[in-house]
Amino acid sequence: MEFYDNYCYSIAAASYFGLVFFTDVAKQNPFLATLFSFVTFAVSFLARPFGSLLFGHFGDKLGRKKTLVVALMMMGISTFVVGVLPGYDVLGPMAVVLLCVCRACQGLGLAGEWSGAALVATENAPANKRALWGSFPNLGAPLGFFFAYGVNLLLESNFSQDTMVAWGWRIPFLLSAVLVVVGLVVRERMSETPVFQKAVKEDRVVKSPLHELTKYWKQVVLGTCAMGITYTLFYLLGTWSLSYGVKTLGFAQTQYLQLELAAVPFFAVFIVVGCVEADKVGRRPVLLVTTLLTVVFSLLAPQLLATQNAASVFAFLAVGFCLMGGLFGPCGAYLPELFPANVRYSGSGLAYNLSSILGGAFAPTIATALVLAFGIQGVGWYLLAMSGVALVALLLIQESKDMEFDA
């Protein structure tokens, strides 16, 4: 649900929100209106560290299960409200304010989602399969991507552009209510993790997890920098490239959505491949090799996007998603293993959500601005810089594969 909601928003920001919420700007400069809509996209990421601190505190103090239920409700309600929110023609500037409030609430809820789900998976896993079990929450990314882009492709194929701008874009947001119900049923039947139960029994749960977390500031900083490239890759592939492909290269919206959907299975496959290898050779070696390959990709990506050639654009998407899977999969075990049980929810969540700001919050905006200033080559420079940051962090940080995980 987390990823479905986020991708629905990213598609709407790239395709419709410039017209719906920045109507006057769009009449004068459609490119600027799209840039503004990408700024609202970033609001969720800016709220996420605060959500990490909030839900991390209660997740480490009260348990994983209860915290996940509250995070789900906040995320689901916020997404549904976006689907019924009036546009600029009805509310004027207040529509943008309310959109940003909903997006901020999405970010707060979303911040508690991933870290809680990752801990439920890894804290129940056998020690030699922790990365593989940790891949299951991360498989929600390609699955959510497939449903979000699939629903939008279905709507785009059956409705006119005017209909989509008028009300069709709302349907994917309203459909998220179904996922909320499913998620609540699953989480109500879930038991607390044995690792947290053991921490409670041994009186290792602290009253102020956030204060305790200050001892692990280095892990938070380096974990953030190591995973930032993951978000940069994803939001260039899924959000920025959709806008660029349609508005600059001249693809039809439905055609580009088809290319995205055809490429996303590579994402899912390489999440699993990356996690299997991470259980065999370690998390950091897999992340280092994949990040080095991302450096090579950053040099090739501008050439693949230079012309309206479906084959080269598909190569950009497919290779990018392979790399994204190899980076994103192991992080489900890598980040939680950097922290002891009594600050694991807070620490892994904070590092994960700070990396979303560093790498993803402004990725579509930065890429759009770089292309405007330097041409498509600017996107390659951006990927190269973020890959370099990740490489330095991975070389500095030490992974702790078995830190207090065995219950």
121 near 134, Cβ under 8 Å?
Answer: yes
- 3-class DSSP state for residue 76? helix
310 near 255, Cβ under 8 Å?
Answer: yes
Structure tokens at 179: 């996922």
Confidence of residue 21 (pLDDT cuts 50, 70, 90): very high
Q: Indicate the number of domains in the chain.
A: 1
Give the pLDDT mean for 158-181.
91
* 92: number of Cβ within 10 Å: 13
105 near 307, Cβ under 8 Å?
Answer: no
CATH code for position 352: 1.20.1250.20
Which of 34-38, 44-48, 158-162 reaches the highest mean pLDDT?
158-162
Residue 157 lies in a domain: yes
Residue 402 lies in a domain: no
In whole angstroms, what is the distance from residue 56 CA to residue 64 CA? 9
Q: Please give the full DSSP string across 15-69, using - where no structure is assigned.
A: HTHHHHHSHHHHHH-HHHHHHHHHHHHHHHHHHHHHHHHHHHHHHHHT-HHHHHH
Q: How far is CA 81 from the centre of its chain?
A: 20
Give the pLDDT mean for 295-321.
95
Check residue 169 and report its DSSP letter: T
Residue 88 lies in a domain: yes
In whole angstroms, what is the distance from residue 35 CA to residue 52 CA? 27
Residue 404 lies in a domain: no
Confidence of residue 255 (pLDDT cuts 50, 70, 90): very high
- Tokens 């505190």, residue? 57
Residues 167, 172, 173, 178, CA torsion sign: positive
pLDDT of residue 407: 40
pLDDT of residue 285: 94
Check residue 214 and report its DSSP letter: G
Residue 348 lies in a domain: yes
pLDDT of residue 140: 87
In the chain, pLDDT over 70 holds for what percent of residues? 93
Structure tokens at 351: 């590092």
Give the pLDDT mean for 368-373.
91
Give the pLDDT mean for 232-239.
90
In whole angstroms, what is the distance from residue 287 CA to residue 266 CA? 17
Average pLDDT, the chain: 87
More confident residue, 123 or 386: 386
Give the pLDDT mean for 201-211.
71
pLDDT of residue 353: 87
Strand blocks (E) in 252-397: none
Q: Kindly report whether the global pTM for this prediction surpasses the value 0.75.
A: yes
Give the pLDDT mean for 353-372.
89
401 near 338, Cβ under 8 Å?
Answer: no
Confidence of residue 402 (pLDDT cuts 50, 70, 90): very low
Residue spans of alpha helices (H) in 189-252: 194-201, 209-213, 217-235, 241-247
Give the pLDDT mean for 354-364.
88
**pLDDT tens, 171-202?**
999 998 888 788 778 777 777 666 667 766 76
Residue 170 lies in a domain: yes
116 near 351, Cβ under 8 Å?
Answer: no
pLDDT above 70: residue 32: yes
Residue 401 lies in a domain: no
- Residue range(s) defining the domain that contains residue 272: 2-396
Give the pLDDT mean for 217-222.
93
pLDDT of residue 294: 97
In whole angstroms, what is the distance from residue 233 CA to residue 238 CA? 9
More confident residue, 6 or 298: 298
Query: Among 23-37, 45-59, 167-181, 220-234, which is the least confidently predicted range?
Result: 45-59
**Which of left, alpha, beta for 236 (phi over 0: left; psi -120 to 50: alpha)?**
alpha
Residue type, 394: L
* CB neighbour class for 64 (10 Å; exposed up to 12, middle 13-18, buried from 19): buried
pLDDT of residue 327: 95
pLDDT of residue 264: 93
pLDDT of residue 403: 44
**pLDDT tens, 78-137?**
889 999 999 999 999 999 999 999 999 888 888 777 777 777 788 778 878 888 988 888
In the chain, pLDDT over 90 holds for what percent of residues? 47
Q: Return contacts of 160-169, CB within 8 angstroms, 24+ apart.
A: 161/253, 164/15, 164/16, 165/16, 165/19, 165/20, 169/12, 169/15, 169/16, 169/20
Residue 278 lies in a domain: yes
pLDDT of residue 345: 81
In whole angstroms, what is the distance from residue 10 CA to residue 290 CA? 25
400 near 337, Cβ under 8 Å?
Answer: yes
Give the pLDDT mean for 289-312.
95
Confidence of residue 155 (pLDDT cuts 50, 70, 90): very high
